[in-house]
Structure 1
Amino acid sequence: MKIRLIWLILPLIITPELYGQSIQTEVSSDSLATGDVFQLHIAARYNPATYEVVFPDSTQFGGEIEYLSSRRFRGVHSRDSLVYTLQFFALQDTVLTSKTVTFISEDGNLAVSTPEIPLYFKSLLNPEEQNLRPLKPLFDFARSWWLLILFFVLIMLIAFIVYMYRDKLRRKRSLNIDPTPVKPEPFRDPFQHLVNRITHLQTMVAANQQGYMHFYTELSEAFREYVEVVHDIPALESTTKEVIRDLKMRGLDDHITGNMQQILRDSDLVKFAKFNPEAEFVQKNYALAELLLKAIKKHDTDRIDAMRYRYEQMLGFERTAASTQDMKTSKMGEEGT
């Protein structure tokens, strides 16, 4: 009998505070529609000389039950309570989960959990429309749009900095480019080029027979190239007969075509018929070439001037007064001769 009495008294001696603390919970309504606001009342009974009470904060609410506000009331000496204002967002019956109330003392903390409270969903639809449910999700009231705006502004700022940097590099490269324009080549006078080639052959007139082959090759190619450039005749790929025929069709007089034919035929004899000319024969051909140069200059001066004008117009040259005066002086000298 004594042993039983000790077991009954011992818990009261060891933890007398455990049986002196209690909590009560109550809701203002247990039947709620979506969006309804209701109150949760949690009352704590304890010994204030020994304990301090800490009620649940807003972090213990969330999901379908949203925390709005709270207000604390102090009653009698050993009673304290907190009223929470909450909003119901469920679409069906739900449960208000257990919350933790903590009693703090010097000997340690005591955590007491509230009981779960069922909350019943009250539909706003007519009884015959109970099967209908909204398909659109609930609007999220707590989105931080300013973060998206800040991110967009940051991206635009980075893009602007990159654009300015690349534009600066482009301007710097453009300044490093040499502004000096490339000067185009001046017009090459085909007649003067022909004169230079024929004059160069004068040193070969007194050469031996082995040098005559080169003499006649250069002599023939010089006149053929001139005809091809000035009169637009493929003389380098044509026979002597074809060249003379085309020159006559261009309106050249018999004096020019006759001398040209004589020079080209003699050159063909040496190059293709293995003809070995004497020095007197070579001198005669060179003298004939000089006469042909004078006749060509008189006949083709206007044609070459026209070629020079087209070339300068194509490259954007401006004919200077000095060059024009030189051309007039040259023509007057030819007429006087």
Structure 2
Amino acid sequence: MIAFCTISSVFSQDLKVNAFVDKNEIKIGEPIDFTLEITAKNNIEIDFPEFKKVIGKFDVVEPAKVISQENQDDVITTVKYRLTRFELGEEKIPPINVDFRIPSDTTVNSIQSSAIAINVVSVLNSEQDRKIADIESPVEYPFDWVQLGIWILFGLVLIGVVYWIWKKFFANKPKKEKEIEEIKDTRSPWQKAMESLQKMKRDELAQKGDFKVFYTELTDVFRNYLGGITTVGTLEMTSSELLELTEKLKVQMQISQKLHQFLMFSDLVKFAKEIPTLTQAETHYEEMTEIINSIEQFLVERERARKEIEQSNSQTKEKSF
């Protein structure tokens, strides 16, 4: 269907509007193309109508597409809309007003297209198809005890086969015993202490300015050495307890004094934020090495003396017989 409209005789030769659609009957929700074709002289200014959501009772599916084409004297402007409707029955696309101005005149004139009737029909073919049927009740199937028994028997057989395979190939398989060989550390406490001191020297903690860690490790070297030669747990001992345990060994007074001075200074660095010089740290490293060597030498000489006394006593007893 094509709708054609012209204005009064003054403007009938200057402007005309055609409105048409691609089909006059659609199914509910089906899109329809609605086109406005405006033909005007080159010197006429036109205000095109804007429809963002609806045109009358039709929904705008896509925004308008405007195409202009110029001839020698006229400009043909085509405005295309895509519309749809979701209610049944006949409905009209309303007339569209197009405002325009002619040269040397500020008056706004208007021209209107004709309405176009659109018939919206159902997607169902007949009245019978449109009837909504009730939901059918669930279908009941008779319970089959025979089939249930077959499935239970099949499950029991499957379990038996799995158990037989496990029993034959896995249950009686001898377990491999993992032999864990304990590696005994045969180093003496003195050897461990010397190796720890050498490691500290390589780490250069004092040269890096990490004095707190340096004095902590240096104290731990002596702590571990003392625990090794006395078989007493020294890991949780305080400095005074370490000194007391050392004095029980009956070492020389000079060794005890050096150890006391070192432990007191070490506690100041670790707990009172005392900052020693590099020279002090190196001196304490040498003193700790000397302390451990002196105690080790003292213990070796004491053990040698003990053995000599035992040997002498043994020889005396043999002569008496």
* Range into which the TM-score falls when normalised by the shorter chain: 0.3 to 0.5
Tell me which of the two structures has the higher relative contact order, counting C-alpha pairs closer than 8 angstroms and 6 or more residues apart: 2
The higher radius of gyration belongs to 1
More helix by share: 1
More strand by share: 2
TM-score by length of 2: 0.36
